[in-house]
Chains A and B, each alone.
Chain A
């Protein structure tokens, strides 16, 4: 049964799904939906995902949107996936759901607010909103602090004290990697002091090598493009 991933590698949750599949040798066809070219708004894509967002998948004739739902589905539907990605144990699983739920309104929301209003808005012809950017950064920072002090508590190197990564690690680390398109000084300021977080990012990269770096290889290019857009915008 054919699996198609409708993704844009610039999108954090798209990368999480791509890396997960590769790391678990799940075969798929990558269908690029370029957000910068507004391809997510096409009528054809609305047939795939009426929410007009990436990622989305089609597996046979089964369509699914929302990256956490997709990660859980893939972990469950493909028998080769190791248990640590999405453990069968009801308690361990519940904790993974808990951090993935927390992610929506915390790390993701803060990260989106920050990145959109410091640069990404320009790619959609919209103005930057410094107030929204500041609010985003505040929530992003608070979320990183919570990851540092709460979610990474425990014996293992991964979230929830786990000794091996779960889908939650990939989802949240891909979000934080979006900071690679920000200016270095901003990235360093935001990540400063979060030693555990920085180690955890490395551990997650290594656990999914070489795919993690492969799917993040476009970040420097995206950063340069964003710099150009900002420079153009400030000239107007």
Chain B
């Protein structure tokens, strides 16, 4: 049964799904939905995902959107996926759901607000909202602090005291990687103090090598492109 991933590698949750599939040997066709070219607004894509967002998948004739739902589905539907990604144990699973739920209104919300209003908006010719950027940064910093003090436990390399990564590690680390679009000094200010988080990012990269770096290889070129577009937009 054919699996198609409708993704844009600029999108954090898109990357999480791509890496997950590659790391688990799940075959798929990658269908690029170019957000900068507004392809997510095309009527054909609305047939795949009426919410007009990436990522979305089609597996046979089964359509699904929302990245956490997709990660859980892939972990459940493909028998080759190692147990640690989405354990069968009801309590371990519940903790993964808990951090994925927390993510929506915390790390993700903060990150999106910050990155959009500092790195992306002006590049796309859209107004940037400095207040929203500041609120985004505040929420993101509070979220990173919570990751440091609560979600990452003891000496365990992964979230929730786990010795091996789960879908939650991939989802949240891909979000933090979006900071690659920020200026180096901003990235250093926000992320620099969190040594434990930096180690966790490295551990997650290593656990999904070489795919993590492969899928994230576009980050620096995109950052440079965004900078270029920002300059062009301000010259107009």
Shortest Cβ distance from A105 into B: residue: B104
B97 sits at the interface (CB 8 A): yes
Partner of A98, one of B64, B95, B97: B64
| Chain B residues in 8 Å Cβ range of A231 | none
Chain A interface, >50% SS class: helix
| Chain B residues in 8 Å Cβ range of A209 | none
A95 touches B51 (CB 8 A): no
With A66-B97, A68-B97, A73-B90 known to touch, is A97 a contact of B68 (CB < 8 Å)? yes
A109 sits at the interface (CB 8 A): yes
B222 sits at the interface (CB 8 A): no
Kindly state the separation between the CA atoms of A93 and B66 in the bound complex, as whole angstroms.
13
With A62-B91, A73-B94, A90-B76 known to touch, is A150 a contact of B64 (CB < 8 Å)? no
Kindly state the separation between the CA atoms of A104 and B101 in the bound complex, as whole angstroms.
8
A64 sits at the interface (CB 8 A): yes
Chain B interface, >50% SS class: helix
B72 sits at the interface (CB 8 A): yes
Shortest Cβ distance from A62 into B: residue: B91
Q: Which of B72, B76, B90, B104 has the most CB of A within 10 A?
A: B104
B90 touches A77 (CB 8 A): yes
| Chain B residues in 8 Å Cβ range of A77 | 90
CB distance from B95 to the nearest CB of A (A): 7
Interface residues on B, range: 20 to 34
Kindly state the separation between the CA atoms of A66 and B150 in the bound complex, as whole angstroms.
15
A-B contacts counted at CB < 8 A amount to 82
Kindly state the separation between the CA atoms of A95 and B59 in the bound complex, as whole angstroms.
13
CB distance from B108 to the nearest CB of A (A): 8
Binary B-proximity of A62-73 (CB < 8 A = 1, otherwise 0): 101111111011
A101 touches B73 (CB 8 A): no
B101 touches A66 (CB 8 A): yes
Kindly state the separation between the CA atoms of A142 and B62 in the bound complex, as whole angstroms.
26
Partner of B98, one of A65, A101, A146: A65
A64 touches B51 (CB 8 A): no
Kindly state the separation between the CA atoms of A225 and B184 in the bound complex, as whole angstroms.
50
| Chain A residues in 8 Å Cβ range of B67 | 101
What is A's interface to B at a CB cutoff of 8 Å? 50-51, 62, 64-70, 72-73, 76-77, 90-91, 93-95, 97-98, 101-102, 104-105, 109, 146, 150
What is B's interface to A at a CB cutoff of 8 Å? 50-51, 62, 64-70, 72-73, 76-77, 90-91, 93-95, 97-98, 100-102, 104-105, 109, 146, 149-150
9 cross-chain CB contacts under 8 A: A65-B98, A68-B97, A76-B93, A91-B62, A93-B76, A95-B64, A98-B66, A101-B67, A101-B104
